[in-house]
Structure 1
């Protein structure tokens, strides 16, 4: 697989994100009643917007808004339900100055969200769930996160079958890149995601993390989404073997963030932002010290968030 180089940033994104000398942090805004990690705490648009603004205050660089759960065993929601959940939140967060990603496998949702200001389409299916997705990405010019995927959440656990998980994931992502190029999507729009937890058991996830530099070396920015995943729950299981619950996995998530950042990840997608925001800065300082470059500081350009949002305005 060839691409624009491992240090390249996807385009178009705001200049302030390109100016960062560290891994970016994407905060998760689930507008769903059945998320595995937060149980619908921010299901209403007002609550979701308030949560997104809180994540920005905690250090998120961009926000990923999703209206359909991809937890193991979950089933699809109606297209109109997904649109109704996602679009008001995208619109309001963009109006507050946030850089917004839409987490969807549906082309119609992706187009509508980009029309309302979303800059990124985060597609866990890598375009395999909707054949119209690549056309939308090519036409809109949005940044596109293509995740490694083998099937929807209700069947994905049965698809965990690899000869060598890293080699197989790289090959299948290379096929997605070829299809994207054939559809007219530019390389600089593309971000790759190894799809931790999707058609991967606990033992399949660790090689992808340990060998992350191999994915980075394929030349495209890499997004890592380890946050609160099952394999961390199993790692942190108690004496009786019961997996740690999702909210007890945040410290492990931050540890993965630091290691992923040191390995060259472009961005991490997390539910709890503060720990990972610290972790990427530690990784940048560490790498900077090794290379003799001051990489610990961020750009002085701050996210232009509406002052009412900072002080608890009407959306809160």
Structure 2
């Protein structure tokens, strides 16, 4: 899953996509590099970010999706949103998946909406809002609590008629470095309920902290090797989807993993 943020303030690539034309060029690059799915987002969810209005988010994503979906018929598209109207208009454009970082906490009606379009629903765990989620997040047992939440939300979505559900533990969304490492190490626990698991660790701050030196955290643009290490471990634990910024490198990692795994 290649990431396409049409935002001015996303943590990794905010502001890089300036208009529909440049966005289409970036999609073309990702597809050529091996992306099976493109996740389009019009609202930054980085820690500390402020929400955007529904109107602004619609203006950022819908004109792009109206052109992108028919232009790349062999590619699946996902809309990264927590807003019902944004998801509805994106699905009307032909988007295949709704990626809800609130895990149906903010807008439960997304489940019924996905059911009506026979769309895939990604349910992610997050604690708090992007503005507040990194303010001392606390768990008694992070993995167990998150698995329980995701199972409950997935079952709620199934009752609403959603047939295809993906779960995401939400690395970096209301978690400390220790919580994030525990999630990666115990990713098999998330796979055990039987839903495909999406992992979004690409370039995240946990990598910057793990690779910090005397000058501070590793900068975002120098986190590729750490990202690929996490990707490989996630694949070993059973991850079904990797949400990535560096598509070609992630695809190479996947191909090597598949080759080695063929001997198991």
Determine if the TM-score, normalized by the shorter chain, exceeds 0.5: yes
Q: Is the 8 Å Cα contact of residues 205 and 231 (structure 1) preserved in structure 2?
A: yes
Q: Is the 8 Å Cα contact of residues 148 and 173 (structure 1) preserved in structure 2?
A: yes
The one-character-per-residue Cα deviations of 1:182-206 (angstroms, maximum 9, x if unpaired) are: 32222xx100000000000111101
- Taking the aligned partners of 1:174 and 1:157, their CA distance within structure 2 comes to 23
The one-character-per-residue Cα deviations of 1:197-246 (angstroms, maximum 9, x if unpaired) are: 00001111011111111111110000000011111110111223x11111
- Taking the aligned partners of 1:223 and 1:244, their CA distance within structure 2 comes to 24
Stretches of structure 2 that go unaligned for 5 or more consecutive residues are none
Q: Is the 8 Å Cα contact of residues 124 and 149 (structure 1) preserved in structure 2?
A: yes
One of 107, 117, 135 as aligned partner of 1:140: 117
When the two structures are aligned, how many residues end up with a matched partner? 262
Name the structure 2 match of 1:91: 66
- Taking the aligned partners of 2:192 and 2:201, their CA distance within structure 1 comes to 20
Aligned to 2:123, what secondary structure does the other structure show? strand
C-alpha deviation, 1:289, in angstroms: 1.4
Which structure has more RCO (C-alpha within 8 Å, separation ≥ 6)?
1
Aligned to 1:289, what secondary structure does the other structure show? coil
Name the structure 1 match of 2:222: 248
Name the structure 2 match of 1:265: 239
Write out aligned runs for 1:67-216 (5 A): 67-96=42-71, 97=73, 98-158=75-135, 160-186=137-163, 189-216=164-191
The one-character-per-residue Cα deviations of 1:126-155 (angstroms, maximum 9, x if unpaired) are: 111113212211211100100011221001
Name the structure 2 match of 1:283: 257
Q: Is the 8 Å Cα contact of residues 64 and 100 (structure 1) preserved in structure 2?
A: yes
One of 36, 43, 52 as aligned partner of 2:11: 36
The one-character-per-residue Cα deviations of 1:90-136 (angstroms, maximum 9, x if unpaired) are: 22221122211111011111111111011011111111111321221
- Taking the aligned partners of 1:99 and 1:175, their CA distance within structure 2 comes to 27
C-alpha deviation, 1:159, in angstroms: 5.8
- Taking the aligned partners of 1:289 and 1:52, their CA distance within structure 2 comes to 34
Q: Is the 8 Å Cα contact of residues 107 and 130 (structure 1) preserved in structure 2?
A: yes
- Taking the aligned partners of 1:285 and 1:85, their CA distance within structure 2 comes to 40
The one-character-per-residue Cα deviations of 1:30-54 (angstroms, maximum 9, x if unpaired) are: 0001111013111312111111111
Segments of 4+ moved more than 6 angstroms: none
In the superposition, the TM-score normalised over structure 2's length comes to 0.96
Aligned to 2:188, what secondary structure does the other structure show? helix
- Say what the alpha-carbon RMSD is for the aligned residues: 1.2
- Taking the aligned partners of 1:137 and 1:176, their CA distance within structure 2 comes to 14
In the superposition, the TM-score normalised over structure 1's length comes to 0.80
- Taking the aligned partners of 1:159 and 1:48, their CA distance within structure 2 comes to 36
- Taking the aligned partners of 2:68 and 2:32, their CA distance within structure 1 comes to 13
Q: Is the 8 Å Cα contact of residues 251 and 275 (structure 1) preserved in structure 2?
A: no
